[in-house]
Structure 1
Amino acid sequence: MSAISLPSGLVTRPLVPGDARAVYELIAEQERTDVGVAEVEEEDLVSEWQQPSYDLSANSIGILDGERIVAYVEYMGEERYDAAVLPSHRGRGIGTWLAGWVQDLARSRGAAMLGMPVPEGSAGDHLLTALGYDVRWTSWVLRLPAGASVRERALPDGYVVREATAADHEQVWTVTEDAFLEWAVRARAPFEDFAARVWQRPGFEPWHLQVITAPDGTVAGVANAWNSPVDNGLDTYVSKLAVAASHRNRGLAQALLVAVFAAGRERGATSSSLSTDSRTGALSLYEKVGMRPASVWPHRAIRLNPGG
């Protein structure tokens, strides 16, 4: 447990699935303070917490002031965690306490390093810097400027873009995980966990998952997107974009962006966004199709056994 004490009057308990709304409201208020817009959705938490392999109560703690959750931390496994502190409760040592708690938990699970993304220049960024966290990589949220669209690009002969069906799900999982694991520091997500975050995500509609099939009928590329409420309307957010290694450099990623952004606009979206990080090397691709960074999120991490 963290060596410092929490302020008097605050209590702690593990989170439970029924806390999703309260934790969403906490994170959203922090993001509005730090980057001017809430990027998180309640469905993000529900889909993560409903993964069969994930034990929420064993990997999280909430801090309550009366009945309200004013801070939380959640160990995502391996080298990653998420945390938030209500802006009105900053400056009281709560973030430091959370960092100590999750470091102890991760260390007990055998993790050698631990980190999380924080908005550049935010209170969280300054806190983690002071606690000895270094930047491991950088992420960006990118958006299309108002009124802009991704230029259409013809698919190679024999390639087809369409909504995914249940028969595609295993290939969707394989293509996406293969692509992400070329750079991500984690184990392969089990199929059931992947399903919980994609087609079992609350509110899922068929257009949210689109694929490009190759001439032989196999899945060559995948896009997972949905319309997300933002302060001024709806935004089509691309959660996952992946192309199988053997089908790259043929414009498939651009074609998928065109397809999902168009589908989102047909359903009322007025803006489009996605996130990427410096490990992927994809920033230039998105900038070439007209997307621009809206916020910067350094992933700060710390070695848990620096002398080991």
Structure 2
Amino acid sequence: MHDVRPGLPVGLTTRALTPADAHAVFETIAAQELHDLGAVEIEEADIVGDWQRPSFCVEEQTVGVFDGDQMVGYAEYAAPDRGDAAVRPEHRGRGIGTWLAQAMQDLARTHGATVVGMPVPEGSPGDRLLTALGYQVRWTSWILKLPVGASIAERPLPAGYAVRASDPAEYAEVHTVVEDAFLEWSERDRESYADFAATTVLRPGFVPWQLRVVTDPGGAVVAVAVVSVYAEAADAPEAYISRLATRRDERGRGLAQALMVDTFAVARDHGAVLCGLSTDSRTGALGLYEKVGMQVTSTWVNRAISLTSP
């Protein structure tokens, strides 16, 4: 059911979204990224995976803006303090982004959040809009890519260690390694295994080789890389490491570097041309990735606003 909402141009309507709207959301975000970045960094499977998490209710945590049957903008809130929004570039300047920013705040407030934020390319129209609306920078993040044809220098693993695709029987152990590492710097509750699985091993298109691990001499998982191959750009399919983690007591031994070498090599064997990953200022890892030859291709800021009673 479409509703007419105050604050939007005449003729535009809104409604809560359903899982069937994932493709329209992808097209909206992709159009915005192509305009602002010159490339599409998202795949529809990212949205499907995110929306199929048990902790997320699409109908209660999203809203779309429509011009007739075409989606022209959307917003969502994902606990505990993360949101996202996009507006088709040809519809900018009509107040849609401002309306969506408020809608995202309302969704977050309804679900008990005291703050909500989202990533935007630094200096982009979205960044300028959120700045004008009072959103403050929480952290900076970077997307890095390995130049076409370049390789990360190999680093031998310690004796008895091995790198390979993870066995499904290890997926819960993989989740523990990832969460333990990410929670060292991320201020949030522990992600459930079900939510983790929804965006990794149950993500559309996942195949077992895309979850790489390093094991110690006893067979325990001590480092993890989750990679996806983005084939939307047929001329340059990209392998993107969405999660890279090493157990705290195993750091400083070159495990992450060895894992990256393996992951990107296997991804190239499966058709990837570009290789990328992202990191942010909370991790302190930017210099490490640059040291192995990766180059920053875009910079993003996570802007957030405190929520008070409307």
So what's the TM-score if we normalise by structure 2? 0.96
Residue 287 (structure 2) aligned to one of 284, 288, 291: 284
How far is the alpha carbon of 1:107 from its aligned partner? Answer: 2.0
Mapping of residues 2-13 of structure 1, within 5 Å: 5-13=7-15
Instruction: Determine helix, strand or coil for the equivalent of 1:127.
Output: helix
Residue 40 (structure 2) aligned to one of 20, 38, 41: 38
Could you tell me which residue of structure 1 aligns to residue 30 of structure 2? 28
Residue 249 (structure 1) aligned to one of 248, 252, 267: 252
- Measured in 1, the distance between the counterparts of 2:296 and 2:148 equals 13
- Measured in 1, the distance between the counterparts of 2:17 and 2:273 equals 35
Structure 2, unaligned stretches of length 5 or more? none
Could you tell me which residue of structure 2 aligns to residue 294 of structure 1? 297
Could you tell me which residue of structure 1 aligns to residue 110 of structure 2? 108
**Contact 2:76-2:107 within 8 A present in 1 as well:** no
* Residue-by-residue CA offset, 1:38-67 (whole Å, 9 max, x unaligned): 000000001111112211110000111111
- Measured in 1, the distance between the counterparts of 2:93 and 2:6 equals 14
Mapping of residues 132-151 of structure 1, within 5 Å: 132-151=134-153
How far is the alpha carbon of 1:4 from its aligned partner? Answer: 5.7
Residue 82 (structure 1) aligned to one of 81, 84, 100: 84
Structure 1, unaligned stretches of length 5 or more? none
- Superposed CA RMSD in Å reads 1.3
Instruction: Determine helix, strand or coil for the equivalent of 1:118.
Output: strand
Alignment of 1:202 with 2:204, yes or no, is yes
Instruction: Determine helix, strand or coil for the equivalent of 2:102.
Output: helix
How far is the alpha carbon of 1:108 from its aligned partner? Answer: 2.8
**Contact 2:28-2:71 within 8 A present in 1 as well:** yes
Residue 275 (structure 2) aligned to one of 260, 272, 277: 272
- Measured in 2, the distance between the counterparts of 1:38 and 1:189 equals 27
Mapping of residues 206-221 of structure 1, within 5 Å: 206-221=208-223
* Residue-by-residue CA offset, 1:80-111 (whole Å, 9 max, x unaligned): 10000000110111111111111122223332
**Contact 1:4-1:97 within 8 A present in 2 as well:** no
Displacement over 3 Å in runs of 4+ = none
- Measured in 2, the distance between the counterparts of 1:146 and 1:167 equals 35
**Number of aligned residue pairs:** 304
Could you tell me which residue of structure 2 aligns to residue 118 of structure 1? 120
So what's the TM-score if we normalise by structure 1? 0.96
Could you tell me which residue of structure 2 aligns to residue 304 of structure 1? 307
Mean alpha-carbon deviation: is it higher for 27-36 or for 228-237? Answer: 228-237
Mapping of residues 184-195 of structure 1, within 5 Å: 184-195=186-197
How far is the alpha carbon of 1:20 from its aligned partner? Answer: 0.9
How far is the alpha carbon of 1:230 from its aligned partner? Answer: 5.1
Instruction: Determine helix, strand or coil for the equivalent of 1:111.
Output: coil
Could you tell me which residue of structure 2 aligns to residue 238 of structure 1? 241
**Contact 1:37-1:230 within 8 A present in 2 as well:** no
**Contact 2:43-2:232 within 8 A present in 1 as well:** no
One-letter amino acid of the structure 2 residue matched with residue 215 of structure 1: P
Percent identity between the two aligned chains: 55
* Residue-by-residue CA offset, 1:105-143 (whole Å, 9 max, x unaligned): 222333221110001111100000000111110010000
How far is the alpha carbon of 1:146 from its aligned partner? Answer: 2.1
How far is the alpha carbon of 1:271 from its aligned partner? Answer: 1.1
- Measured in 2, the distance between the counterparts of 1:297 and 1:4 equals 31
Mean alpha-carbon deviation: is it higher for 103-112 or for 182-191? Answer: 103-112
- Measured in 2, the distance between the counterparts of 1:124 and 1:197 equals 25
How far is the alpha carbon of 1:305 from its aligned partner? Answer: 3.0
